[in-house]
Structure 1
Amino acid sequence: LNGKARKYFYSTIFRGREAIRVGDCAVFLSTGRPNLPYIGRIEAMWEGWNGNMVVRVKWFYHPEETNGLARRLRHPKGALFDSPHLDQNDVQTISHKCEVLSWEEYRAIHRIRSDESCADVYYLAGCYNPYEKTISIKPSLTL
């Protein structure tokens, strides 16, 4: 193992006062997509041999990104689909944390919080595979 191959893994990093941990969901910087921000679950974070901090992300997809496959979804607002899509990005692309909840938790939060305080709260509606163009929607959420 030479020096260039070394990675130093982190379970938590701090951005100002916000602690961002492996397993957290986050909004990632995206230009030109204010209504469809990139949302992902942080799988790993490390510092490479060159000092750059890297994050491995498992991406969620919005219903609008499923090529029409989510049209049977009863409540598209706030919905996200889990996916097998993984990639690596600079840690600086993390904007802030968000919440991805079950449908039941999402509805309960919306009953007690204002719409503004729910801006970064989403629910998991099922799974979407962008490679195979297949979708699985939780049966209780379909029309």
Structure 2
Amino acid sequence: MAKAKAPRRTLESYTVKSINKSVRGKPPSLPFAASRSAVGRRSSSPSRAFFFFFLWPVPSLRSVGDCVLMRPSDPAKPSYVARIDRIESDGRGTNVKVHVRWYYRPEESIGGRRQFHGSKEVFLSDHYDIQSADTIEGKCTVHTFKSYTKLDAVGNEDFFCRFEYNSSTGAFNPDRVAVYCKCEMPYNPDDLMVQCEGCTDWFHPTCIDMSVDEAKRLDHFFCESCSAEGKKLQNIHSASRLVADTKVDTKRRRR
């Protein structure tokens, strides 16, 4: 008679006892391969490049709702970003699995990376997966777009998300965002922009024939439209004063 499998237990948290790091060099053995279930996206075979993993003994607690970095099968690729939705183990408390929801980088989406995508931008996808907890490298933070732009310093573990992504259709939610500058592009927090004091719109220095160094030295800035409007108003005001002065002189001469 076959022995019944022990039921799996749901855990609130899991302690990562060691974090795997990749180091260039001659491998003592083939690295562990972590696969993802997206067909054609990730290879499940171990890489034979000259990299090896060593264990960095840093105990770290991971909980449901945490965002984590997960080890890819190819050491040359950046770590995957995921959100933990559930943690479970077998009856003995071993063989811990994590149910995750993947974040996609722009280059992993159907449309690819575009000019306005930030270097630390990720999309919350509808792609769910189950992975071994041993593939967790460490914790990261996925900020909202607004909170990310307010960071004084951006670390390696900081990311931001402003879109949800449908991995089957390539659709984004929201499908529209505010655009800025003459190029009418969404805001990229990696790029310097200057704000017009007239219309309060933002502009890339290159779009207004200005270098980044010149933009950094600006104390005040008015865009071309606001400058033209300002000159127009100034000319109207000067003409009005000239007419008024002419009328006064005429009255004086009549006396």
TM range (shorter): 0.7 to 0.9
Distance in structure 2 (CA, Å) of the matches to 1:103 and 1:14: 29
* Residue of structure 2 aligned with 1:53, choices 85, 96, 121: 96
Which runs of no fewer than 5 residues in structure 1 stay unpaired? none
Q: Percent identical across equivalent pairs?
A: 24
Single out whichever of 131-140 and 40-49 deviates more from structure 2: 131-140
Q: Which has the higher contact order (CA 8 A, sep 6+)?
A: 1
Q: Deviations over 1:105-127 (max 9, x none)?
A: 11222xx22x5xx1110001201
Q: Residue type of the partner of 2:177?
A: P
1:122 aligns with 2:152: no
Q: Residue type of the partner of 1:15?
A: V
SS in 2 for 1:43: strand
Single out whichever of 29-38 and 97-106 deviates more from structure 2: 29-38
Query: Please, what TM-score do these two structures have when normalized by structure 1?
Result: 0.82
Distance in structure 1 (CA, Å) of the matches to 2:146 and 2:75: 27
SS in 2 for 1:67: coil
- Tell me which protein shows more strand as a share of its residues: 1
The answer for the alignment partner of 2:177 in structure 1 is 139
CA contact (8 A) 1:3 1:49 kept: no
Within a 5 Å distance, the mapping from 1:1-143 to structure 2 comes to 3-4=4-5, 6-16=7-17, 17-32=59-74, 34=76, 36-49=78-91, 51-68=94-111, 71=114, 74-109=116-151, 112-113=152-153, 115=154, 118-137=155-174, 139-140=177-178, 143=186
SS in 1 for 2:168: coil
Moved over 4 A (4+): none
Query: Please, what TM-score do these two structures have when normalized by structure 2?
Result: 0.48
Task: Tell which structure's C-alpha radius of gyration is larger.
Answer: 2
Matched residue pairs, number? 136
Q: Deviations over 1:44-102 (max 9, x none)?
A: 0010257311000000000111122552x624211110111001011101110000001
